[in-house]
Amino acid sequence: MKANTPILITGGSGFIGSHVARLFVERYPDYGIFNLDALTYAGNLENLKDIEDRPNYTFIKGDITDEIFINDLFEKHRFEGVIHLAAESHVDRSITDPLAFVKTNVIGTMVLLNAFKNIWHHDFSGKRFYHISTDEVYGTLGNTGLFTETTPYDPNSPYSASKASSDHFVRAYGETYGLPYIITNCSNNYGPNQFPEKLIPLFINNIIHQKPLPVYGDGNYTRDWLYVLDHARAIDVAYHRGKNGETYNIGGFNEWKNIDLVKLLCKLMDEALGRSKGTSERLITFVKDRPGHDLRYAIDATKIKAELGWEPSLVFEEGLKNTIKWYLENQQWLDHVTSGEYQNYYQEQYQTR
Ligand code: NAD
Ligand code: TYD
pLDDT digits (tens, 9 = 90+) for 61-111: 999 999 999 999 999 999 999 999 999 999 999 999 999 999 999 999 999
Residue 206 has pLDDT above 60, yes or no: yes
Specify burial of residue 118 (Cβ count, 10 A radius: 0-12, 13-18, 19+).
exposed
Which ligand does the CA of 11 lie closest to? 1
Average pLDDT of the segment spanning 304-331: 97
d(CA 120, CA 84): 17
Q: Output the CA 105–ligand 1 centroid distance in Å.
A: 9
Mean per-residue pLDDT, 169-192: 98
Is residue 84 situated within a structural domain?
yes
pLDDT of 4 reads 87
Residue 264 lies inside a defined structural domain of this protein: no
Residue spans of alpha helices (H) in the chain: 15-27, 67-77, 91-96, 98-101, 109-120, 158-177, 199-208, 228-241, 258-273, 302-308, 316-329, 331-337, 341-350
CA distance to 172, 240, 308, per residue, from 180 (Å): 11, 13, 18
What pLDDT score was predicted for residue 340?
87
- Ligand 1 within 6 A of CB of 184: no
Q: pLDDT band for position 2 (50/70/90)?
A: very low
Global pTM value: 0.98
| Active site residue ranges | 135-136, 159
Taking the CA of residue 258 as reference, the ligand 2 atom at the shortest distance is 12
Residue 92 structural domain:
5-191+224-254+296-314
Report the 10 Å Cβ neighbour count for 205: 20
How many distinct structural domains can be found in the chain? 1
Strand 222-227: give its sheet, edge to edge.
188-190, 222-227, 255-257
Q: Quick check: 53 pLDDT over 90? A: yes
CA 48, 51, 234, 264 dihedral sign is: negative
Structural domain includes residue 273: no
What residues are paired with 188 via a beta bridge? 225
Residue 23 lies in a domain: yes
Atom of ligand 2 nearest to the CA of 350: 22
Nearest ligand atom owner, CA of 86: 1
The Å distance, Cα 249 to ligand 1 centre, comes to 18
Evaluate whether residue 290 is within a structural domain.
Answer: no
Quick one: which atom of ligand 2 is closest to the CA of 290? 15
Look at residue 216 and tell me if it is in a domain: no
The string of DSSP letters for 53-77 reads T-TTEEEEE--TT-HHHHHHHHHHH
Q: How far apart are CA 312 and CA 225, in angstroms?
A: 10
Q: How far is the CA of 126 from the centre of ligand 1 (A)?
A: 26
Residue whose CA is closest, atom 12 of ligand 2? 199
Phi and psi based region of residue 183 (left: phi greater than 0; alpha: psi -120 to 50; beta: remaining)? beta
Residue 94 placed within a domain: yes
Q: What is the pLDDT of residue 1?
A: 40
Length of the chain: 353
pLDDT tens digits for range 114-132 = 999 999 999 999 999 999 9
Instruction: Kindly report the CATH number assigned to the domain that includes residue 16.
Output: 3.40.50.720
According to DSSP, the residues that pair with 10 across neighbouring strands are 36, 84
Is the Cα torsion angle 205, 95, 153, 103 positive or negative in sign? negative
User: Separation of 74 CA from ligand 2 center, angstroms?
Assistant: 36
pLDDT above 70 as % of the chain: 99
Identify whether 34 is part of a domain.
Answer: yes
pLDDT in tens, 230-269: 999 999 999 999 999 999 999 999 999 999 999 999 999 9
